[in-house]
Chain A
Amino acid sequence: MIEALKLTKFYGAVAAIQDVSFTVGAGEIIGFLGPNGAGKSTTMRILTGFSPATRGTARVAGFDVHEDPIEVKRRVGYLPERVPLYEEMSVDAFLRYVAEIKGVSRSMRRAAVGEAMERCGVSQMGGRLIGHLSKGYRQRVGLAQALLGKPEVLVLDEPTVGLDPRQIVDIRHMIKNLAGDHTVLISTHILPEVAMLCRRAVIINQGRVAVEADLATLTEGAREFHVTVRGDAGKAEQVLLGVAGVKSATLDATGQWLVQGTNVDGEAVNAALVNAGLGVSALEHRRKSLEEVFMEVVSREREAVV
């Protein structure tokens, strides 16, 4: 549904993004992660046709963003980072206007606006002026604006910013329900949100795609084990390092070994220790949290640059 191919955008001499490529399949919810200034918003602006890429191509819903901008814009709902609202308008009037310029036919408009308002929980706010709304409600009106007309593709730039915890849960629930009918590209700082909503994530750092992978692979790719071993520590270390895939084994203050490596098999660790005559009193497989993966990716890149 979304195909970014080697997107590069220069602001003057500074490259905001460089060679950003990724794809999002139909009906998928994909998380777009990265530290501030990594180029998330820039990429989203290119995909939605707001600003053109310096180089590279982007195809959304089968249309080239540069060649057929109108066709792309008909199929995309976009919530920018800075929610675009006309403060002097009422919520109703604003959403009716958006429905109109989105090309929702006159007879469908009222129903479409009503549905979007209900989905975002602003049904009671129809008559209120946008300028008088709290940040959370503005965010919701912005979201309702993006959902209007049921676009095939949704591009949401930090949709849960400024919402209270309950609203965040509601909105996440709503976004999750969008999967299947809509293709969603969602950027956020809140990593548990990604873990909750998305099956796949693109991590972007300093203008480049650092990782594009399934969340399961991301958090599982590098396995860690906590092992408590009875017996000689020196021998245990030797044995642990001898297991296929193990890169390091360190003993912490509590007497627990931390075994790290790639594609390490827990059973193999256990078997090796037992065969060597050491007792294994505990062996725990620990998945990495998304935070850890994120921090690793981001700091690794940073070191590489320095």
Chain B
Amino acid sequence: MNNTWAVCKREFASYFLTPVGYVVVGMVALISGLSFAMSFLTHVDITQSPTTFAYSTVPDFEESLLSPFLVFCGMLIMFLSPLITMRLLAEERHRGTIELLLTHPLRDREIVFGKYFAALGMLLVMMLIVSVHLMVVGYFVDVEPAVLVFGVLTVFLMGAAFISLGLFISSISRNQITAGTLTFGLLLLLFIVGNAGEKLPEISPMPETYPAMLRAPFGFVYATFRTFVMELLVDAHAKDMAQGIFQPHDVLYYVLFSAFFLFLTFRALESRNWRG
């Protein structure tokens, strides 16, 4: 545990000894601030004439501003998370400091969790900045606490999932740029694939003229595939939670997502023992 903390501390400090930390924090502040201001102005317009925006009555503050803003923050984190994860292990490998880590009495889990927690620390810093806006909102408006609590939780879980993917990619790369690009590409892919899932027709595309014996299993496989693709969508799992509805299966989705990639990271680090 002490070692995990030591690795985590060093890694986190490094974010702010190099420009990375400042760049990420600055970008989050700039973009979330701008988008918050813009959503707020839109909200004001909507409140003044709801009918022009296809609302029958004045919408809830939570519904038209807060939840979409939280989901947007999740997306912002998706764009920036490769920046905080790409260096985690790739840089150690590139600089040769991996030799230091692996020849000191550290267990693999202390290295992996140390790095993961450091990146989660950066995520917390990002969310701290986002919560400045939420605090301003909380001061002036009577917001439903559930929206805030579950909304912030879901953004955090989403970010943690992105980071676990990034950590894994970093663990198999030697070059930070490769790691960053690949992470970003995969995250974007998850995002797009989910949307593509909605385009898939609900009924099996196999023609009716085929024998039923074939159609039944194919239909099952297709349905599973379709559900799977649709469930992959990373932000779909955030929408309900961001509206203040606690959804255990969404929480589970993000937790399993993280666990899966942390598991892969362990295997990747272990592979030094059997790879030439």
Contacts and interface: CB of A to CB of B under 8 A. Distances in A.
Interface of A: 10-12, 45, 48-52, 70-71, 73-74, 76, 78, 80, 82-89, 93, 97-98, 100-103, 145
6 contacts: A52-B272, A52-B273, A86-B97, A88-B17, A89-B14, A98-B100
B238 to A, nearest CB: 34
Contacts of B96: 80, 82-84
B99 A50 contact: yes
B104 A73 contact: yes
A107 B138 CA distance: 45
Given A71-B105, A84-B96, A102-B104, 20 more contacts: A45-B99, A49-B102, A51-B272, A70-B107, A73-B105, A76-B103, A78-B99, A80-B100, A84-B95, A84-B99, A86-B10, A88-B14, A93-B13, A97-B6, A98-B100, A101-B7, A101-B104, A101-B106, A102-B105, A103-B105
A101 B105 contact: yes
Contacts of A50: 99, 102-103
Contact of B276 (A11, A85, A100): A11
Contact of A145 (B3, B100, B276): B100
Given A89-B17, A97-B10, A84 B100 contact: yes
B209 interface: no
B57 interface: no
Given A84-B95, A84-B97, A101 B3 contact: yes
Contact of A98 (B14, B17, B95, B104): B104
Contacts of A85: 95, 97
Nearest to B272: A51
B103 to A, nearest CB: 5
B105 A80 contact: no
B276 A12 contact: yes
A101 B6 contact: yes
B124 to A, nearest CB: 21
A60 B7 CA distance: 26
B266 to A, nearest CB: 16
A145 B95 CA distance: 16
Interface centre among B97, B99, B104 (most CB of A within 10 A): B104
B18 interface: yes
A170 B101 CA distance: 28
A144 to B, nearest CB: 13
Contacts of B7: 101
Interface string B158-190: 000000000000000000000000000000000
Contacts of B14: 86, 88-89
Interface centre among A97, A100, A101, A102 (most CB of B within 10 A): A101
A85 B273 CA distance: 24
Nearest to B14: A88
B232 to A, nearest CB: 37
A271 to B, nearest CB: 58
A245 to B, nearest CB: 47
A47 to B, nearest CB: 10
Contacts of A11: 276
Interface string B81-98: 000000000000001111
Nearest to A51: B272
A49 B13 CA distance: 27
Contacts of B106: 73, 101
Contacts of B9: 97
Nearest to B6: A100
Contacts of B99: 45, 50, 78, 80, 82, 84
